[in-house]
Amino acid sequence: MTQEAVGRDTSRGASDAERVTSRLRQAIVAGEFAPKQRLVETDLIEMFDASRGAVRAALATLAVEGLVERVRNRGARVRAVDLDEALEIVEVRAALESLCAARAAERVDEGGVARLRAIGEVMRAAVDAGDGEAYAQANRDLHQEVMDISGAKVAPDVVKRLRAQNVRYRIRLAMQPHRPTTSLPEHLEIVEAVCAKDPERAAEAMRAHLNSVYEATRDYFAKKG
Amino acid sequence: MTQEAVGRDTSRGASDAERVTSRLRQAIVAGEFAPKQRLVETDLIEMFDASRGAVRAALATLAVEGLVERVRNRGARVRAVDLDEALEIVEVRAALESLCAARAAERVDEGGVARLRAIGEVMRAAVDAGDGEAYAQANRDLHQEVMDISGAKVAPDVVKRLRAQNVRYRIRLAMQPHRPTTSLPEHLEIVEAVCAKDPERAAEAMRAHLNSVYEATRDYFAKKG
DNA sequence: GTGAACAACATTGTTTACAATAATGCACAC
DNA sequence: GTGTGCATTATTGTAAACAATGTTGTTCAC
């Protein structure tokens, strides 16, 4: 274990490799590295104060997760997701999250209803206040809460990985000022449908919402890239 | 590069790590390792005649893919998928493969129609001949062909990974002698629906088929494990 | 001035040795 | 006889040196 690195990190018992993996993943998802940007092992060693083994393990992990692209003897770089793939990801999310929404409507209890309604209120307030950051956070919370309530493991795992890949499009889409005007009612309908314990309606609400995300993404990025 | 290992492998330009990953994955999916069986690095080094680095990289990759389970300082073992998770996987497959079936119905061309119909004939013949192995292979071919025709990348990738995790249940389910009696018509309906270029019907056929797989899996493994 | 061969550099892939950790078995006290 | 503590062993985690590969810049011939 490197002595200097001790206590540098939030997660306690994590090994060096796990620590680097987690922080590099976070950095990529947060957009701190541009797509196609090279990830030179030496730089990462310095940046995270870790050994090469740890850095290489992290790159291998993130390559399987689809965040990093590796070419033999030519190194690693941040994978660039093109528009077509981003749209496919939204389609897959629609299929899986609508499934989870239906399950959530079947299983939701009082606590879940309270948490969902609370998120809905936060969203309303964020839109009123024009606070895009708060709205974006509540958006993540809502999708996560629905999947938590569903009790499923497989679908949420897949969705989580896919969402990470799509971060570039999500960030820039959320920039649009009037986007909440469309998405707020959709989100509230998801909340209401799940709280009403109506699986069909919940699945349809989720599908409709992600269909709207699909169209917004497609139109906004149509020519740019 | 180890000298003795040269030419031992099918894939030409693969590095040691890639070679070990691919062969270990294949071994696990083929059922050559029992679930929960320990994968000691030293043993794998000898088994595949590779360095520890290569073996460790392979274990890391397969851990992310969900085939291997790693515990810090306690090594790796083959991950055991329980029945609940196996059923979730079938549900997710239903959602994604029905999506792909619809896309396939929209995009299929003459060549695709020919290949699908050919697979259908192979299935019929296999059932007539009571050749379970041939039927299982045609089953894989059909699902793969539909996803190929769909032109999608994301959903098929996810499905492929999930199918690998479920191999234990698939293998044992296929053992049932009268299983093709149920599944053959379902498969043929998928073929016909896609060839008829009817997306709705294709999605519904795929959904119905995987629902049948779901029930068969649930009932067959209900008490056993 | 342009192209090709070559040499120097940067970067990754591989191997070996070393350190740390958890599991195991044994001895000893009670 | 049972349980606790310690020593041993098996196994993984980490680090550093070495080899191979790809890239870039330079020189020389034409």
Is residue B225 a part of any domain in this protein? no
Chain B interface, mutation test: which of A1, A71, A88, A154, most B Cβ atoms within 10 Å?
A154
Is residue A141 a part of any domain in this protein? yes
Of A61, A72, A158, the CB nearest to B64: A61
Question: Same structural domain for residues B63 and B103?
Answer: no
**What percent of chain A lies above the pLDDT cut of 70?**
92
Is residue A225 a part of any domain in this protein? no
The answer to whether B61 contacts A64, with C-beta atoms less than 8 Å apart, is yes
Is residue B3 a part of any domain in this protein? no
Residues in chain B with pLDDT < 70?
Answer: 1-13, 223-225
Q: What is the pLDDT of residue B224?
A: 56
DSSP state of A4: T
Question: Same structural domain for residues B202 and B96?
Answer: yes
Task: List the CATH number of the domain containing B153.
Answer: 1.20.120.530
Closest CA to B143 of B126, B159, B124: B159
pLDDT at A7 exceeding the cut of 70: no
Residue range A126-180, pLDDT digits in tens: 999 999 889 999 999 999 999 999 999 999 999 999 999 998 888 777 777 788 8
pLDDT at A110 exceeding the cut of 60: yes
Question: Same structural domain for residues A33 and A88?
Answer: no
Strand C nucleotides with an atom less than 7 Å from a protein beta carbon: 11-17, 20-23
Question: Same structural domain for residues A101 and A191?
Answer: yes
> Which nucleotide has its C1' atom closest to residue B18's CA?
C13
Q: Is the CB of B72 under 7 A from strand C?
A: yes
Is residue B126 a part of any domain in this protein? yes
Q: Kindly report the nearest CA distance between residue A125 and chain B, in angstroms.
A: 34
Residue range A199-224, pLDDT digits in tens: 999 999 999 999 999 999 999 888 65
Domain boundary among A59, A78, A97: A78
Domain with A208, as residue range(s), is: 83-220
Q: Which chain B residue is nearest to residue A100, measuring alpha carbons?
A: B92
Q: Which two tokens stand for residue A43?
A: 């730089």
Kindly list the residues from chain B whose CB atom is less than 8 angstroms away from the CB atom of residue A15.
72
d(C-alpha A80, C-alpha A143), whole Å? 24
Q: What is the pLDDT of residue B168?
A: 87
Domain total in chain A: 2
Q: What is the pLDDT of residue A177?
A: 77
Of B57, B60, B95, the CB nearest to A99: B95
Question: Same structural domain for residues A132 and A52?
Answer: no
Question: Same structural domain for residues A67 and A176?
Answer: no
Question: Same structural domain for residues B60 and B108?
Answer: no
- Please, what's the b/e burial string for B139-175 (b: 16 or more CB within 10 A of its CB; e: otherwise)? bebbbebbbebbebebbbebbebbbbbbebbbeebbe
Domain boundary among A35, A53, A78: A78
Q: What is the pLDDT of residue A13?
A: 56
Confidence of residue A42 (pLDDT cuts 50, 70, 90): very high
Contacts of B33-37 with CB under 8 Å at 24 or more apart are B33/B78, B34/B78, B35/B78, B35/B79, B35/B80, B35/B81, B35/B168, B36/B77, B36/B78, B36/B80, B37/B77, B37/B78
d(C-alpha B189, C-alpha A143), whole Å? 35
Domain boundary among B52, B78, B104: B78
Is residue B10 a part of any domain in this protein? no
Is residue B6 a part of any domain in this protein? no
Question: Same structural domain for residues B111 and B189?
Answer: yes
Residue range A53-83, pLDDT digits in tens: 999 999 999 999 999 999 999 999 999 999 9
Closest CA to A180 of A116, A220, A133, A224: A133
Task: List the CATH number of the domain containing B39.
Answer: 1.10.10.10
Of B57, B85, B98, the CB nearest to A60: B57
Question: Same structural domain for residues B196 and B176?
Answer: yes
Kindly list the residues from chain B whose CB atom is less than 8 angstroms away from the CB atom of residue A85.
153-154
Question: Do β-strands A68-71 and A75-78 pair in parallel, antiparallel, or remain unpaired?
Answer: antiparallel
The answer to whether A99 contacts B89, with C-beta atoms less than 8 Å apart, is no
Is residue A33 a part of any domain in this protein? yes
Question: Same structural domain for residues A64 and A102?
Answer: no
Q: What is the pLDDT of residue B7?
A: 34
Question: Same structural domain for residues B116 and B22?
Answer: no
Question: Same structural domain for residues A176 and A98?
Answer: yes
